[in-house]
Structure 1
Amino acid sequence: MRKAVDYRPRRAFDLVSEALLDTRVVVINGARQVGKSTLAERVVHEHADGISRFLDHPLTRSAAEEDPIRFIDHDGLMLIDEVQRVPDLWLAIKYLVDREPRPGRFLLTGSARLLSLSSLPDSLPGRSETIELWPLSQGEIDDEPDGFIDAVFTYGAALQTGPRDLRRKDYLERAIRGGFPEAVKRETSRRRQRFFQSYVDDLISRDVKQVADIQKAGDMRRLISLLAAQTGGLLNVNRLASELGVSRPTVQRYVEILETVYLIRLIPAWSANTTTRAVATPKVTFVDAGLAAYLMGPLTDLSVGGLMENFVLAEIARQLSWSDTDARIHHYRDRDQNEVDGVIEDNAGRVVGIEVKAAETVRSADFKGLRLLQERLGPRFLAGFVLYCGSQSLSFGDGLACLPVSALWTTPSP
């Protein structure tokens, strides 16, 4: 196993290990440089019969291309890292697991949403489980419990957290640092900037080209910058097309590609029969707030709000990937400009609303969108929170409260 420096335990480790107990093929998907290979190697290390194959090595890749069946013939667990580099392996894996359907046969990693890739000949329905790995959460960085989602669906607005000494500047520093392991361990902002610069260059020159035939890399780079400028805002495809001088379908295709390679994440709009005036446009966020901050350039009062919203929504999205509560995150905005930054709905239809404020104080007016959603949903509305850069937890009426942003990672699971 390759030596892992400054390794931080990942919550996805248990998810992967559990899946291998009853699933033939387990796929770890995620952005470049989030630690997929390191996590996968640690899982394989727990299996005495486990072996690893890394397709970034030319000789290994050549062997896989020459004879896929022989390459994957192994009695124990086999890790194949960056499996999308040899698409023919996909059919070979399907062939073998259909003939020997024992669990824990293959552990695959990829730096793109594998089932979205046109180069793959077939999917593995009923044979595989995909676990998405995101950049480090704040709880993984600080060894905190990361239990907000499960706690809030258990306690609702009665959830309380202890005071924390973090202030606005501290939260901004965390957002700008981001969660990529390599960026986290770099001690200066200048060194992190260099990491983000190389990251974007590699993403465009390697990952994007692997997903699709992009003729004008410059258009893709400019689109990324424009998306960063509207972080936390609604996706305006027409405006982007106008600014880039390309067609609307081209912009839509490029946005889909950036989602496939895990650069951005579109938060879908939320609506229900009781909120018929809802706007259906998704919201733009980046998978990592640090990368978004780098692309945004010098922060202004306006862009700080978008960055903090991205930071909070990204932390919630990470928790939803491992929480016991099965829920989805959306955003809400209606035609009267009432909005809620995050709407988390579980499978029972219960809703928790989240509003993000990049300030150290909270006013009653900050709950306007949450109160409106509460009135329209009635008993389905479990709780509404304003997450802010202060230190206290305070009630603002029945079902409504403000919490420090740090409650996301310092709150233990019930």
Structure 2
Amino acid sequence: MLPVRYRRRVVDRELTERLGAVGAVVIEGPKACGKTATARQVAASEVLLDVDAEARRAAELDPSLILAGPTPRLIDEWQIEPHVWDHVRRAVDDRVAPGQFVLTGSAMPPDDVTRHSGAGRLARLRMRPMSLFESGSGSGEVSVARMLDAEPQSAADPGLTVADVTVELATGGWPGFRGLTTTQGLSAVRDYLGEIQRVDIGRVDDRRRDPDRVARLVRSLARNVATHAAATTLAADTGGAGGPLKDDTVREYLTALERLMIVEDLPAWSPQMRSRTALRSAPKRHFVDPSLAVAALDSTPERLLGDLKTLGFLFESLVVRDLRVHAQASGASVHQFRDASGLEVDAIVAARDGRWAAFEVKLGQRQIDEAAATLLRFAEKVDTDTVGPAATLGVIVATGYGYLRPDGVAVMPVGALGP
């Protein structure tokens, strides 16, 4: 069997840079997003705690045993033996050299496990499933970094149809599922989600949870993807023979899903505004990859193309995933905006130095004018004396070319987005 060729990831450069500056880098992300393959590109030796029983026994007896080896040393799925954390921290202190360890983790351990700070010793790096550019389905011609620099950009048509984009969001950016047929990819994501609901959500904190209740919540999240649905709304939407889930149960399950990095809500952006209109702080509901919502709904690309309202929400979630992947390379984060007057902006990319760009997400070309008007109205309401003007206002669509409108709003197809 030929070895699987590694496909370059946006975080590769960030990983190399951080390893040159600190003793250890912790790569965090949902399982199967490619953490191990990425870490192996820089590692000189490795120990795989999820499959190596001997290594797990050694870690239980004396964690320092699994730290020995050429550096950088990869410790894969470190959270399986969480006391390894303190020993890595101590080893970094003792060795006084950068680039000693790369740790990967598919679940965030309880806060008390990492209570001994890794500040100055360990850097955290977030990974997500692949963007369209990373998977080879997109051109990457429109750079998020250049948008934050206010550079006008154009792009050729990446060649994706709405049907193509629907298949992409339904099968997801999971590296191990690339190359499968659409039917196989849909089945793989359903199996992945089923394993999380049956097994992983209990392992994350050693608490038994009813898989049926978890599945009901996940379906509710899928029905409310890209909305501001509160936990109480999700609870009421769960239904089932036993009645809706309790609000506290929903919040507990959501926390577990967040620790597995399966759910990644989009936080609100709260800039200084010219008016006194109250800003809404509720996050928008998103999975780390829209394919999980499709799997929870037990849907298919064909069915989604017949339900354009649902497809529109899922498309927005796809765009958020890709913006997050590419914004991270610029030290930026992604948010959303909503105020009490009903003004909403789907995505705000905000850099640490104060630069920002705002985007509306629309599945169809006919909605571009409306989206551009929303962005211009939003830009007028922001207090630019305090937060500065938008570097870019853009409408992200499913298909077509990338260009700049006469009103200054950029239009770009999702397949052209890149770092």
TM-score (structure 1 length as normaliser): 0.89
Partners of 1:15 and 1:267 lie apart in 2 by 22
Q: Secondary structure at the match of 1:273?
A: coil
**TM-aligned CA deviation for residue 12 of structure 1:** 2.0
The alpha-carbon distance between structure 1 residues 284 and 146, as it changes in their structure 2 partners (threshold 3 A), is farther
Q: Which residue in 1 is equivalent to 2:15?
A: 16
Q: Which residue in 2 is equivalent to 1:47?
A: none
Alignment of 1:93 onto 2:88: yes
The alpha-carbon distance between structure 1 residues 130 and 225, as it changes in their structure 2 partners (threshold 3 A), is same
Is the CA contact (8 Å cut-off) linking 1:362 and 1:402 kept in structure 2?
no
Alignment of 1:311 onto 2:318: yes
Q: Which residue in 2 is equivalent to 1:153?
A: 148
Q: What amino acid sits opposite 1:278 in the alignment?
A: L
**1:197-276 map, 5 Å:** 197-212=190-205, 213-244=207-238, 245-274=244-273, 276=277
Which one of 392, 400, 405 corresponds to residue 409 of structure 2?
400
Partners of 2:395 and 2:168 lie apart in 1 by 19
Partners of 2:345 and 2:224 lie apart in 1 by 17
Partners of 1:227 and 1:390 lie apart in 2 by 27
Alignment of 1:301 onto 2:294: no
Q: Which residue in 2 is equivalent to 1:182?
A: 176
CA deviations over 1:148-199 (Å, ceiling 9, x no partner): 211212235x322223433322222222221001222212x22112211221
**TM-aligned CA deviation for residue 261 of structure 1:** 0.8
Partners of 1:397 and 1:131 lie apart in 2 by 39
Which stretch of the first structure deviates more once superposed, 393-402 or 383-392? 393-402
Which one of 331, 345, 358 corresponds to residue 336 of structure 2?
331
Q: What amino acid sits opposite 2:7 in the alignment?
A: R
Q: Secondary structure at the match of 2:187?
A: helix
**TM-aligned CA deviation for residue 390 of structure 1:** 3.5
Which stretch of the first structure deviates more once superposed, 367-376 or 300-309? 367-376
Is the CA contact (8 Å cut-off) linking 1:232 and 1:284 kept in structure 2?
yes
Partners of 2:77 and 2:213 lie apart in 1 by 27
Q: What amino acid sits opposite 1:306 in the alignment?
A: F
Q: Secondary structure at the match of 1:264?
A: coil
CA deviations over 1:296-355 (Å, ceiling 9, x no partner): 3242121011011001111000112223xx322111122222211111222343331111
Extract unaligned runs of 5+ from structure 2.
Answer: 239-243
Q: What amino acid sits opposite 1:67 in the alignment?
A: D
Which stretch of the first structure deviates more once superposed, 399-408 or 178-187? 399-408
Q: What amino acid sits opposite 1:204 in the alignment?
A: Q
Partners of 2:410 and 2:66 lie apart in 1 by 57
The alpha-carbon distance between structure 1 residues 118 and 4, as it changes in their structure 2 partners (threshold 3 A), is farther
Q: What amino acid sits opposite 2:170 in the alignment?
A: I
Which one of 102, 107, 112 corresponds to residue 107 of structure 1?
102
Q: Secondary structure at the match of 2:55?
A: helix
**TM-aligned CA deviation for residue 110 of structure 1:** 0.7
Which one of 359, 363, 366 corresponds to residue 354 of structure 1?
359
TM-score (structure 2 length as normaliser): 0.88
Which one of 370, 380, 387 corresponds to residue 389 of structure 2?
380
The alpha-carbon distance between structure 1 residues 382 and 216, as it changes in their structure 2 partners (threshold 3 A), is same
CA deviations over 1:328-387 (Å, ceiling 9, x no partner): 211112222221111122234333111111113344223232122111124522321111
Q: Which residue in 2 is equivalent to 1:39?
A: 38
Q: Secondary structure at the match of 2:7?
A: coil
**TM-aligned CA deviation for residue 95 of structure 1:** 2.3
Alignment of 1:69 onto 2:64: yes
Is the CA contact (8 Å cut-off) linking 2:177 and 2:188 kept in structure 1?
yes
Q: What amino acid sits opposite 2:379 in the alignment?
A: Q
Q: What amino acid sits opposite 2:313 in the alignment?
A: G
Which stretch of the first structure deviates more once superposed, 366-375 or 128-137? 366-375
Partners of 1:135 and 1:367 lie apart in 2 by 29
Extract unaligned runs of 5+ from structure 1.
Answer: 45-49
Q: Secondary structure at the match of 2:149?
A: helix
Q: Which residue in 1 is equivalent to 2:241?
A: none
Is the CA contact (8 Å cut-off) linking 1:328 and 1:346 kept in structure 2?
yes
The alpha-carbon distance between structure 1 residues 305 and 29, as it changes in their structure 2 partners (threshold 3 A), is same
The alpha-carbon distance between structure 1 residues 52 and 178, as it changes in their structure 2 partners (threshold 3 A), is same
**TM-aligned CA deviation for residue 206 of structure 1:** 3.7
Q: Which residue in 2 is equivalent to 1:59?
A: 54
> Percent of pairs identical after alignment?
26
Q: Which residue in 2 is equivalent to 1:163?
A: 157
Is the CA contact (8 Å cut-off) linking 1:88 and 1:121 kept in structure 2?
no
Is the CA contact (8 Å cut-off) linking 2:288 and 2:321 kept in structure 1?
yes
Is the CA contact (8 Å cut-off) linking 2:141 and 2:155 kept in structure 1?
no
Q: Which residue in 1 is equivalent to 2:369?
A: 364
CA deviations over 1:219-247 (Å, ceiling 9, x no partner): 22211111011111113211112334333
Partners of 2:20 and 2:150 lie apart in 1 by 32
Partners of 1:303 and 1:214 lie apart in 2 by 32
Is the CA contact (8 Å cut-off) linking 1:373 and 1:381 kept in structure 2?
no
Q: What amino acid sits opposite 2:105 in the alignment?
A: G
CA deviations over 1:246-297 (Å, ceiling 9, x no partner): 3323322221221221111110111223164221110011111222222232
Partners of 1:229 and 1:177 lie apart in 2 by 17
Which stretch of the first structure deviates more once superposed, 240-249 or 314-323? 240-249
Q: What amino acid sits opposite 1:308 in the alignment?
A: F
